[in-house]
Structure 1
């Protein structure tokens, strides 16, 4: 048997999405050799188009913000300053510029195909070796320096060793699968059905293209739609619910684009306000679906590898936290990787996993509260204290790691209390303490 060629680098990264590209950019700025192995070719379709303002901090830190800003007009990235909510005749919105936390209050809604490619291209400009069409087929982390076995599109197989390994493979979840790290999520199994549309929204005075629109299904508050406008009259459009919801509409298990489009249109017609808003919409892109996307792992890092972004944990698309968590994980991990490369001890649990999960747990509290209906009570409250609105706005803007925000401490309990006070019309000043 022919011995495989063994290559070497400082840091190996699996996946060229936002977490992989930002980690590579940060590492290259520090002078380390980086190889990214990406199974697909870019540009490629992906959902998660609604960025949060917190992302801007991490993009700037990695030296990636300017390249995105320079291409805003070319790719019709939509300026974004908040989130709008619709439930029957109830409407509400949050302006991210009016928030508790310091930091940017605006960002963009982006098509992920060009956005992800822009980040990857900039990482390449910084000197990252990105190998598209290269698939990881085996993983060995038992040695001090991990080794990956890789197959390219010409069926050539080689091995590459890095001093450290970062898994930024997103929903591919390469290390969790190879190393048996996957842990069941305690979220109910939900399905997302989604596409891009020509939205046909011309002059509706109640629609703001500068905000994502989240619509609660009138017949099942656990089901909701997203509408993420781009700057050229198109939008990302999706519906999320538990499987029983789709079964009610006659879902047969057939996931062809045609069957999914028929299902989606049927669900849309059941919401008068949203279907009126989209009465001119053209479904001109294949409809897709993801099911059971929530995921967790036994741990996020060990002595010679770490999981970034969705490779470690994905909650739910409802508050667009995916890219923010991905970029935060890279920002948090890279200084620790550098210390490890320099031979210093790193406590990955205390210095990476626990800090990262603190913010994720805040997002989790809001997601759980959304589906229970409590956070919906907050969102649609007509009499919310201005300071509480600013605190909630900070979370919706992605500032889940700002522990100075009073409602982040014991977030689940605080949200339940806020919902009760909003529902009962009680004075909210006493909820503002630390």
Structure 2
């Protein structure tokens, strides 16, 4: 099959973001072409998947295939919903599923340039993109026209970096990472326990960063070090600018628990590295353009946000393009909805990661009780069972505010400067009859009234918990994507009706809000 001269939607990039968007659009009968630069299967870092992933996979009917074909480990035991996967395998399944859904997909094909027309557009001085030039490794090349462009080109971000130039790096999360794969490592968590196959995280003893230890189904472990870039440069200088592998192994000496797990293991790969982990864009949607996945934003590997933001962005792109084609709303509204959805989800993850960064790199700040390393490791220990789906109350993402306060008490004390007694006092206020159990986001007026009664210090703590709570909803469920309105519009997820509908019409008399008008 040859690359066509035109299509309705061109997706640049066949990773999780692009493949998901293509599959969702093709299932609606929309003509989609995917051009992926690499040849599948191809390597990618990012082995841990969030519990919410299963909900997204069900949207495009690939959940059963994912389970049947992918040999993965369930983090937290066989009944857990958090997965550790080999990305080359998982990504290829999604790419092939896009083709099976009706998309025409081509790997080993690089998009070299995007061509624009009508340069008087208010949204982009470049105008509207209408075609793309491509080249294959076999020497063939050509151009393809399109009505809509989805940029899922990964960190290369052809639109953000080459044309729009709207990528912004977050200096307070400017980290570097190095990682390798080990054979023969001990497993964190005993067989059959809730910790079985869970990734393990540990802070470096000198406060320069942290380490991940993730088991994979082939018997290897992905083990990586994430360092603040400035601290990493200083550390390398002090060590005489060592080779990448020597520096990596030196850093592992600062994580005693992980080193113990690796005591009988052998490093079986070269050391890989990446920097500038955290960035975003000023916008992710323009008329006839959607930017998704790493092409638009990335945060940090600790919270496994990469694949989540990728598939969520892919679904948002598909929903809004379908809405525009179906006439649910005009294209400008659809593009704006997409941009706001990506920004909203990115900001939730960014805030939580920022909270952890503040704890990690606040070694000299007095509010953390005990020694620094005890304090930061305590924060990691609190978060690990929650983030891996092994806390019963969180399997559905339905933690109440009181439960959140109790679980994250240490973190709240560290981040806000409040005393444990002050946090306890706020918990007591939250335990008023009826408020503790109410986790429905529609009680905004009740929450607002409650917050107005708090002191400035209490309000600060309360805001932080609200952000964490919304973050966990994204982490475990798809509810915030399907239920939360933007500009009065919510998603319709029914096959054949994928798009945007009025929130009032969808909610009226429809229990569960899972049926579209």
**For this structure pair, what is the TM-score category when the shorter chain's length is used for normalisation?**
0.7 to 0.9
Tell me by how many angstroms 1:49 deviates: 0.7
Structural mapping, 1:49-60, within 5 Å: 49-60=47-58
Structural mapping, 1:126-275, within 5 Å: 126-142=101-117, 146-188=130-172, 189-201=174-186, 205=190, 208-220=195-207, 222-250=208-236, 259-275=243-259
Normalised by the size of structure 2, how large is the TM-score?
0.67
Question: Which whole-Å deviations, capped at 9, do the CAs of 1:58-112 have from their partners, x for residues lacking one?
Answer: 1110222122101233xxx111239xxxxxxxxxxxxxx9xxxxxxx61310010
> Structure 2: how far apart are the matches of 1:277 and 1:431?
44
For the 8 Å contact 1:163–1:341, the answer to whether it is kept is no
Structure 1 position 79 matched with structure 2 position 74: yes
Tell me by how many angstroms 1:162 deviates: 1.2
Aligned residues between the structures:
395
Structural mapping, 1:32-431, within 5 Å: 32-73=30-71, 77-81=72-76, 106-142=81-117, 146-188=130-172, 189-201=174-186, 205=190, 208-220=195-207, 222-250=208-236, 259-342=243-326, 344-346=329-331, 347-348=333-334, 350-373=336-359, 380=378, 416=412, 419-420=415-416, 424=420, 426-427=423-424, 429-430=427-428
Question: Which whole-Å deviations, capped at 9, do the CAs of 1:292-342 have from their partners, x for residues lacking one?
Answer: 132221210101111011111111112111100111111222121012224
For the 8 Å contact 1:11–1:34, the answer to whether it is kept is yes
> Structure 1: how far apart are the matches of 2:99 and 2:153?
18
> Structure 2: how far apart are the matches of 1:268 and 1:379?
16
Question: Which whole-Å deviations, capped at 9, do the CAs of 1:183-233 have from their partners, x for residues lacking one?
Answer: 32223321110122214216875994431111111210x500111111342
Report SS of the residue matched to 1:380.
helix
> Structure 1: how far apart are the matches of 2:30 and 2:335?
24
Q: Which has the larger radius of gyration?
A: 2
For the 8 Å contact 2:36–2:108, the answer to whether it is kept is yes
Structure 1 residues 404, 335: closer, same or farther in 2, change over 3 A? farther
Q: Which is richer in helix?
A: 2
Q: Between 147-156 and 279-288, report the one with greater CA deviation.
A: 147-156
For the 8 Å contact 2:131–2:143, the answer to whether it is kept is yes
Normalised by the size of structure 1, how large is the TM-score?
0.79
> Structure 1: how far apart are the matches of 2:189 and 2:252?
18
Tell me how large the CA RMSD over aligned residues is. 3.8
Instruction: Find the counterpart in structure 1 of residue 24 from structure 2.
Output: 26
Unaligned runs of 5+ in 1: 83-96, 98-104, 409-413
Q: Between 192-201 and 308-317, report the one with greater CA deviation.
A: 192-201
> Structure 2: how far apart are the matches of 1:371 and 1:110?
26
> Structure 2: how far apart are the matches of 1:382 and 1:253?
28
Q: Between 126-135 and 8-17, report the one with greater CA deviation.
A: 126-135
Q: Which has the higher relative contact order, 1 or 2, with Cα contacts under 8 A spaced 6 or more apart?
A: 1
Instruction: Find the counterpart in structure 2 of residue 91 from structure 1.
Output: none
> Structure 1: how far apart are the matches of 2:47 and 2:163?
30
> Structure 2: how far apart are the matches of 1:395 and 1:306?
35
Tell me by how many angstroms 1:154 deviates: 2.9
Tell me by how many angstroms 1:141 deviates: 3.7
For the 8 Å contact 1:28–1:127, the answer to whether it is kept is yes
Report SS of the residue matched to 1:16.
coil
Structure 1 residues 353, 281: closer, same or farther in 2, change over 3 A? same
Structure 1 residues 340, 383: closer, same or farther in 2, change over 3 A? closer
